[in-house]
């Protein structure tokens, strides 16, 4: 059991270090925000295109 806890502690420590690196790096945060904005925009375009295609299909 002790071995498992040590292994989990090491994993959590790595995760916390990566989180701190990411949140302390303004360039990475900005890049993440740009990517997230792009994905949201693309999703909205796909939803509009899907609705337009559905509406066009109903007309026919």
**What are the pLDDT digits (tens) for 32-50?**
999 999 999 999 999 999 9
**pLDDT band at residue 2 using 50, 70 and 90 as cut-offs:** low
pLDDT of residue 26: 95
List all residues 6 or more positions away from 29 whose beta carbon is below 8 Å from its beta carbon.
22, 23
pLDDT of residue 31: 96
pLDDT of residue 5: 65
State the residue for tokens 């066009």. 56
């Amino acid at each position: 059991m002790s071995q498992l806890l040590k292994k989990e502690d090491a994993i959590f420590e790595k995760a916390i270090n990566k989180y701190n690196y990411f949140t302390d790096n303004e360039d990475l945060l900005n890049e993440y925000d740009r990517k997230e904005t792009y994905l949201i925009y693309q999703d909205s375009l796909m939803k509009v295109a899907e609705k337009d295609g559905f509406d066009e299909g109903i007309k026919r």
